[in-house]
Structure 1
Amino acid sequence: MTKPIICRVALAIPLHRQFDYLLAAHLCPKDPNSLVGCRVLVPFGGGPRKQIGVITATPEESDYAIDKLKSVSQLLDQQPLLSSGLYKLLNWAAIYYQHPFGDVFQQAIPTLLRKGKAATFKTQEYWKLVQEDVNLDQLARAKKQCHAATLLQGSPIAYEQLKSQGVTRATLNSLQEKKLVEHYEQMPETNLTWPHDIRELQEKPNLSTEQAIAVTTVTQQLNKFKCYLLEGITGSGKTEVYLNILKAVLEQGQQALIIVPEIGLTPQTVKRFKARFNVPIYLKHSALNEQQQLETWLHAQQGSAAIIIGTRSAIFSDFKNLGLIILDEEHDASFKQQDSFRYHARDFAIKRASEQNIPILLGSATPAFESLNNALSGRYQHLFLTHRAGNAKPPRNDLINLTGLPLKSGLSPQLIELMQQHLAKNNQVILFLNRRGYAPVLMCHECGWLVKCERCDAFYTYHKSANYLHCHHCMATHPVPEQCHDCGSTNLHSTGVGTEQLEETLNQLFPDHPTVRIDRDNTRKKDSFNNYLDDINSGKYKILLGTQMLAKGHHFPDVTLVALVDVDGALFSNDFRASERLGQLFTQVAGRAGRAEKKGQVVLQTFHPEHNLLQELVNNGYGDFSRTALQERRMAQLPPFSFQALIRAESLNATQAENFLRLCKQTLNQIADNNKVSDRLLILGPIAASMERRAGKYRFQLLLQSEQRVLITKTLNIALAHFEKLPEGRKVRWSIDVDPIDFV
């Protein structure tokens, strides 16, 4: 090949178009098509600016004159970075979620690869004994050196592994000075295969009949696609079902992907899985450093990772031989990316399992209505765990009517008395309040002036311990004012209750029972959340106070009382999903009570004990509630009985944002008319978002809804090119959210 070839390159930019470049002949392989999926460094825009993109095609001709095309600066890969299956899935996701492929590709790969680094492991430092028969008696008085030498007997060990065993570099240097040890660099072992006869490291509990049925159902059909919904009440042993199914997958020499909603859940999941299986297990989440993320990704791709456990983005891991996907707490809203590439990890995982012809297991005590409807209609196979594992009994549910009661930072006299009773028996108590800070509002006692965020349609939250005001929407902070801006009064008081205030009150009411507060404000430091969990399980704290972080998947065997301090706001929300979320929250929080031998009790404080939703949840549980609520959704033709897409626009000028969406609506109506689908496609808006102004920008929305998912996809595919040509679109920031779950 003597002349350069044309490469079509997708870049990580907010444009739904790709760019043609020339690749020098000496860099071209015999088959130019093999370049598809390789990264390149290319000039973009004016000046010396260069960007990393991915080759999507090698066309014979370009729409532009060859002499006008710029040249590729560097070919970064000699073979496609991703497997063909994953590359194909990302193309599907770009089309379905209406997002530029270049950005989809970049978000799906580790950060170092986005920066142009090679897809290779970093060499590791290994230490070994100079002679195998080291006389440890000579180190008897140097206990640390003796410990290190003992660990090194048998085979070399990576420094990071020695470090985790308490061996310091100073200790190793001392041994090296004595000519007892030496070190060297080498690449980590990647051609590992785990034994087909999987060695379980601990004795496993006997399965209940329901657990055994679930395990058998899945393991009998391992090598073909099927989606299973495991609906199991909290404490019913879903993880044990996962472990038994995993064993069958690992025995076939296949890999497994476990996705959990929160980083906080990964350590306890890893700990349990590592205690069970003698196979390579790796973590994948945003708290890892860039090198750790790359190496986890490479271990999965090269087949040396048996199990990957991670959060939402782990679904993009490339696997050599993936055999099973498990999505735990599948209902959780954190599986939906809320900005940029707005994918849903659950839906992408199901599509991936289908394309790779492998089973996927969705587990939850409170299934999302979409998943539940698919199971009830037969599209998914429905599995049930209706009894708690072991001798644990379901908790008792009670409502406390707050009307007319004197409250102490939101606590009723009845709840305080119940807490005293449970604490007197040396048990633990959880209080749930999904409102951090000291108080949600600071108000003038004289004229009623409220301290409002200058950039949002929201009030500042008062944080007493740090003595500042904080907007939890735009993250702006403000000093606490000394006087009212309207009347000049210095009589300013906090209104409402946050976790910080409740913690202060609990310390006063129960000085002999230590309280720990767990929310986003005091778990920012690395490992702080896990340290709190360790302290809770050791019994250091008796009262656990927190936000939604405490509701997800944690096992606290000594907790016998769980109280939801205030959830009334969810009863009267304008979001049609609010009742579903409250049902899930109540059930998940309640599931922390009475998980071992001890009887649990759940208390919900409310000013509206007669509300149908609360009565249904307390008396009949999430199962009956969800099925009743699904019928209401069906009658209203709301998801999951219809599909939606939301076009958002925001601008410093409200008129510009609204006008852009009006033009989008005209385009959509014209496309619907041309394709004769106006009667099957509902276009609503534009209307202001429920919080119209946030971070100084005015926000408007346009909603598409149809009973046919494909109709929305096809309409948006046609409309997108028209939207990008609208001059008004350059004056606003706009985005498309397919299958939205948040209308705030």
Structure 2
Amino acid sequence: MTEDIFSVETTYFADVILPVPIPRMFTYRVPRHFVADIKIGARVIVQFGRNRVVTAVVGKIHTKPPEKYQAKYILELLDTDPLITEAQLWLFEWIAEYYMCCIGEVMNVAVPSGLKVSSQSRMQLNPDFDHPELLEEKEIEFIEILKVHNSLTYDDAIKFIGEKNINPLIKSLISKHAIIMYEEVKEKYKPKVAKKIRLKRGYEGSEEVLNLIDSLTKSPKQQTIILEYLRYVPINELAEKNNLGIDKSALKQGEISDSALSTLIEKGILEQFEVIVSRFGDDTPEEPLKITLTDAQQAASDDIIQNFAEKDIVLLHGITGSGKTEIYIDLIQKVLDGGSQVLYLLPEIALTTQIVVRLKRVFGDKMGVYHSKFSDNERVEVWRGIVDGRYQFVVGVRSAIFLPMDNLGLVIIDEEHETSYKQFDPAPRYHARDVGIMLGLKQGAKILLGSATPSIESYYQAKTGRYGLVTLNQRFGEAQLPDIQLVDLKAERKAKNMKNDFSSILFNQIHQNLQNKEQTIIFQNRRGYSPYLNCQECSWVSECQQCAVSLTFHLQSKELRCHYCGHKEEVPKVCPVCGSGKIRTIGFGTEKLEDDLKIMFPTARTQRMDLDTTRTKNAYQNIISEFEQGGTDILVGTQMISKGLDFDQVSLVGIFDADRMIHFPDFRASERAFQMLTQVSGRAGRRAKKGLVMIQTNNTQQSLLQKVVTNDYIGYYNDEILEREGYMYPPFARIISITIKHEEEEKAEKAAHWLANKLLEKLGKARVLGPEKALIERIRNKFLFDILIKLEKDKLNIKAAKSFLREKIDELHQTKEHKDVDVVVDVDAV
């Protein structure tokens, strides 16, 4: 905001987005000294409530004071150049409206916590206090502590006083005006600083530095440091490079004396200084990798560009291993050469890890990477890098859609069918694929969706002509699709051929694979050792006390764990009900399969990749790198190993529990099962040798499995789309799931019926299903009831229906009986 537009005599107000779940912006008064600099999209610090200080984002600037309350002043302006673009603000509002949440909830998820301000109550002496006679002994002791430390946080005061409840003491000192409480605000983001060393001016000439070395003959440790420095900055390059210095850490890699280094700095021979550096280092190769497309890939790329001439959105249906990534790279390069930005979304950090290495070799430091395993400061650095123009191309997981890109030319959404793109908790419960499409359309960008197993909705849009459709049916190079074999578990059990949970057929093939020095992937979409413990005497089952689910047994940590609320407890030595010691594990997860494999194949190098083994920042990368380099023979994993990973030496994939995936009580279960089985199968035989996939099942005649064996996506789609149309499910209707929660089951059920009846009055029985008990009827000590709403796309005003739904939920909360129930709305639930 500039002086020629705004008069400093006029009183200005700013409507700001607060990071709290309230359905509107709040108005604050702009202090006169901020008027010239404040802009829409800038961050400000404001007081919200009595004692809370928060970071807000300016959404609007005007001269109209609020009618219902006295506007407080903005406390601090954090940005003179906005960190939130107008395109982002539009997106925040669209997400809040479409997904039926508050704009503050969107802002809270979108903006990295490193860009928010933390507030912490502190206390200090009141400089005007001059009545020490009013103080009691303990108060005098505390005042003396404050004199030493100038100020203390609440937690610090507890430590110094040695009591947990210090409220009476603090309250008394405040009432006597002896101390002042205040909010210390500080920005969380701190740039990374590198400490460097260089020769002081006066020693930069060849003669001067040689004289210096001679003068240090009697101080050999100091002389060694100067000689070590000259190894990095040679004498003939001193004048040119000395000013840049070298990293202090590099200088200290040898046997360098800390005290000698300190002495040289004190003498004024060396000087230490600091520079701000990137957290991502400079690992760009000297010669970037050049991508050459095969004839099939080139034809697909040309076809995509041709489709983009008429359509904004194109679906690339390419079988597993067809080389979709190379096509993406070709298109990204063209867009970057044209001066526009590119956003490349991936569903999983595991997938990001492998693809980033490849992309870095092509795009180097033009590319930013953004995902949840990054620290706050790393995410802020990428954010600022986009604002500053350093990154024109970003690859990331779903949260990357919130980055401040305002010149997009292309949005790529790889593995677009993945449910990982959907945010479940907390709000906003957005789908990154759909938000990415809206973001691209708003900025006039082209959107490319890619998958070997497209979602039913996306393929329908392509078949009906709204999206362009490009098909790639040929694997890259000499690779062929794997042979897929269904293993009959009933027959194996009848013949007593099972080895633990492995059929003899799969066991023998793993053994053969190890002898051939080839790699194996074992897929089981359930982590932990065993789904539950069971007493053989009284049939007791280990269950969570807060959720209506069994506790999963984890062998490595020797605990029972709830995968819904996180509750943990020790494994009982005897049955807690009957006292019997006959407790056994039932079923199997990835941890048990890993354990069994280590026993059956003791010389094999077996590794596991699931949520439990990938909690640390670099765990994904380490596991994948070790497998890529041949350091692992057998990799056991959950769905994270199914998503686009590319390994040269994998010739065998074994799949467990296919039946459980297919028969899950959900209208999308068969779609997810087909996608998962096809994607996991696609990890086998990605180079010259043909791979083998073995799917263990109790019913080898299932239609879905037969289509997986023949890689018949079209046949599967044709069957599924008829069923969806008959029952009015997506893509023919929008689904809104409503979950009502309360600690008392009766209250939750009554509230659910009240809301369902109100919705039925206007929407009718065909559109309102339920309420029913949720599939998991109790989580975190709250009972859950579900209502499912189906809204036909062609016959109904969806926006008006959402407005009606919001109105009825507000009405529910205004009733005395139901005001304390929680209502969770999930638009386009998956």
Q: CA deviation at 1:269?
A: 1.7
Does residue 10 (structure 1) correspond to residue 17 (structure 2)? The answer is yes
Q: Distance in 2 between matches of 1:724 and 1:385?
A: 49
CA contact (8 A) 1:429 1:559 kept: yes
Distance in structure 1 (CA, Å) of the matches to 2:455 and 2:532: 33
Q: CA deviation at 1:667?
A: 4.1
Q: State yes or no: 1:36 paired with 2:40.
A: yes
Supply the distance in 2 between the matched residues of 1:502 and 1:644 (Cα, whole angstroms). Answer: 37
**Residues 105-136 of structure 1: CA deviation (Å, up to 9, x unaligned):** 2321221222277799837447586559899x
Q: Please tell me whether Structure 1 or Structure 2 has the larger radius of gyration of its CA atoms.
A: 2
The counterpart of 1:628, out of the listed 719, 722, 734, is: 719
Q: Does 1:51 align with 2:120?
A: no
For residue 597 of structure 2, what is the aligned residue in structure 1?
506
Contiguous gaps of at least 5 residues in structure 1: 190-197, 673-677
The C-alpha deviation readout for 1:557-582, integer Å capped at 9, x for no partner, is 11101010222112222101111111
1:196-211 equivalent positions in 2, closer than 5 A: 201-205=288-292, 207-211=293-297
Q: Is the 8 A contact 1:145 1:171 kept in 2?
A: no
Amino acid at match of 1:276: V
Report the Cα distance in structure 2 between the residues aligned to 1:8 and 1:147, rounded to whole angstroms: 58
Q: Does 1:397 align with 2:484?
A: yes
In the TM superposition, what is the alpha-carbon distance from 1:465 to its structure 2 partner? Answer: 2.7
**Equivalent position of 1:313 in the other structure:** 399
Q: Does structure 1 residue 535 correspond to structure 2 residue 626?
A: yes
Partner of 2:67: 64
Q: Is 1:19 aligned to residue 106 of structure 2?
A: no
Q: Alignment identity in percent?
A: 33
Partner of 2:577: 486
Q: Is the 8 A contact 1:225 1:353 kept in 2?
A: no
Q: Are residue 355 (structure 1) and residue 359 (structure 2) matched? A: no
Which sits farther off after the overlay, 20-29 or 361-370?
20-29
TM-score under structure 1 length normalisation? 0.88
Q: 1:569/1:62 Cα in 2 relative to 1: closer, same or farther (>3 Å)?
A: same
* Distance in 2 of aligned mates of 1:256 and 1:157: 37
* Aligned position for 1:194: none
Change (3 A) 1:217 1:729: farther
1: CA distance, partners of 2:362 / 2:700: 45
Compared CA separation, residues 37 and 539, structure 1 to 2 (3 A): closer
Match of 1:245 among 300, 317, 331: 331
Alignment partner of 1:338 is 2:424: yes
* 1:290 counterpart = 2:293: no
Give the one of 70, 78, 81 matched to 2:80: 78
Q: Distance in 1 between matches of 2:188 and 2:547?
A: 43
Partner of 1:447 in structure 2? Answer: 538
- Does the CA contact (< 8 Å) of 1:392 and 1:594 recur in 2? yes
Match of 2:825 in 1: 736
What's 2:463 paired with?
A: 376
- What is the CA-CA distance between 1:160 and the residue it aligns to? 11
The CA deviation string for residues 207-257 of structure 1, in whole angstroms up to 9 with x for no partner, is 233311232244568799711111111111011101111111121232221
How far is the alpha carbon of 1:356 from its aligned partner?
Answer: 0.5
* CA–CA distance in structure 2, aligned partners of residues 290 and 132 of structure 1: 44
Secondary structure, aligned partner of 1:202: coil
Check conservation: 1:667, 1:719, Cα contact below 8 A: no
Which residue of structure 2 lines up, in the alignment, with residue 99 of structure 1?
Answer: 101
Map 1:381-460 onto structure 2 (within 5 A): 381-404=468-491, 405=493, 406=496, 407-460=498-551
Q: Is the 8 A contact 2:83 2:404 kept in 1?
A: no
Report the AA paired with residue 105 of structure 1. M
| 1:410–1:636 Cα change, 3 Å | same
Aligned residue for 2:621, secondary structure, equals: helix
Relative to structure 1, is the Cα distance of residues 718 and 75 closer, same or farther in structure 2, using a 3 angstrom cutoff? farther
The answer to whether the 8 A contact 2:346-2:395 is kept is: yes
Deviation by residue 1:489-523 (Cα, 9 ceiling, x = unmatched): 11111111222222222122212222112222222
Residue type at the aligned position of 1:209: D
Q: Which amino acid aligns with 2:109?
A: Q
Alignment of 1:550-699 (within 5 A): 550-669=641-760, 672=762, 678=763, 682-699=767-784
How far residue 146 of structure 1 moved from its aligned partner, in angstroms, is: 7.4
For the structure 1 residues 702 and 415, does the alpha-carbon distance in structure 2 shift closer, same or farther, using more than 3 Å as the test? same
**Cα distance 1:332–1:480, how it changes in 2: closer, same or farther (>3 A)?**
same
Distance in 2 separating the partners of 1:59 and 1:231: 49
Name the SS of the counterpart of 2:502 in structure 1. Answer: coil
**Aligned partners of 2:75, 2:676: CA distance in 1, in Å?**
52
Matching residue's letter, 1:396: D
Identify if the C-alpha distance between structure 1 residues 522 and 144 changes in structure 2 by more than 3 Å, giving closer, same or farther. Answer: farther
What whole-Å deviation, never above 9, does each CA across 1:655-682 have from its counterpart, x for those lacking one?
2223333333344345x3xxxxx46971
> Using a 3 Å threshold, how does the CA distance of structure 1 residues 183 and 326 change in structure 2: closer, same or farther?
farther
**SS at 2:490's partner residue?**
coil
Cα distance in 2, alignment partners of residues 212 and 411 from structure 1:
43
Amino acid of the structure 2 residue aligned with 1:463: H
Deviation at 1:382, TM superposition (A): 0.9
Counterpart CA distance in 2 for 1:249 and 1:680 is 49
What do the CA deviations read for 1:140-177 (whole angstroms, capped 9, x no partner)?
A: 999986775489998689999997x9985987988895
In the alignment, the residues of structure 1 paired with residue 522 and residue 632 of structure 2 have an alpha-carbon distance, to the nearest angstrom, of: 13
Change (3 A) 1:187 1:438: closer
Residue in 2 that maps onto 1:324: 410
Is the Cα contact below 8 Å between 2:531 and 2:586 reproduced in 1?
yes
Alignment RMSD: 3.4
Q: Once the 2 structures are TM-superposed, how far is the Cα of residue 293 of structure 1 from its aligned partner?
A: 0.9
What is the alpha-carbon distance in structure 2 between the residues aligned to residue 612 and residue 484 of structure 1? 42
2:355 counterpart of 1:264: no
Change over 3 Å in CA distance of 1:146–1:476 after alignment to 2: farther
Aligned counterparts of 1:420 and 1:382: Cα–Cα separation in 2: 42
Distance 2:90 2:436 in 1: 14
Tell me how far apart the structure 1 counterparts of residues 225 and 34 of structure 2 sit (CA, whole Å).
61
For the 8 Å contact 2:47–2:53, the answer to whether it is kept is yes
**Cα distance change on mapping 1:326 and 1:159 into 2, 3 Å:** farther
Could you tell me how far 1:77 is from its partner in structure 2? 3.2
Structure 2 residue identity aligned to 1:734: V
Structure 1 stretch 435-444 or stretch 146-155: which is displaced more? 146-155
Query: Measured at CA, do residues 250 and 508 of structure 1 come closer, stay the same or move farther in structure 2, by a change above 3 Å?
Result: same
- With over 3 angstroms needed to count, the CA separation of the structure-2 counterparts of 1:298 and 1:160, relative to structure 1, is farther
CA contact (8 A) 2:499 2:507 kept: no
For 1:416 and 1:721, how far apart are their aligned partners in 2?
Answer: 59
| CA–CA distance in structure 1, aligned partners of residues 394 and 327 of structure 2 | 17
Give, in angstroms, the shift of residue 590 of structure 1: 0.5
Distance (Å, rounded) in 1 between the aligned partners of 2:572 and 2:629: 42
Deviation at 1:322, TM superposition (A): 2.5
**Cα pair 2:194 2:247 within 8 Å, conserved:** no
Q: Distance in 2 between matches of 1:532 and 1:363?
A: 26
d(CA) in 2 for partners of 1:157, 1:284: 33
Identify which of 593, 604, 612 aligns with 1:521: 612
Shift of 1:690: 0.7
List alignment gaps of at least 5 residues for structure 2: 1-7, 119-185, 214-222, 279-284
| Native 8 Å contact 1:128 1:157 kept in 2 | no
Per the TM alignment, residue 72 of structure 1 is displaced from its structure 2 partner at its CA by 2.7
Going from structure 1 to structure 2, the CA distance change for 1:423 and 1:706 (only over 3 Å counts) comes to same
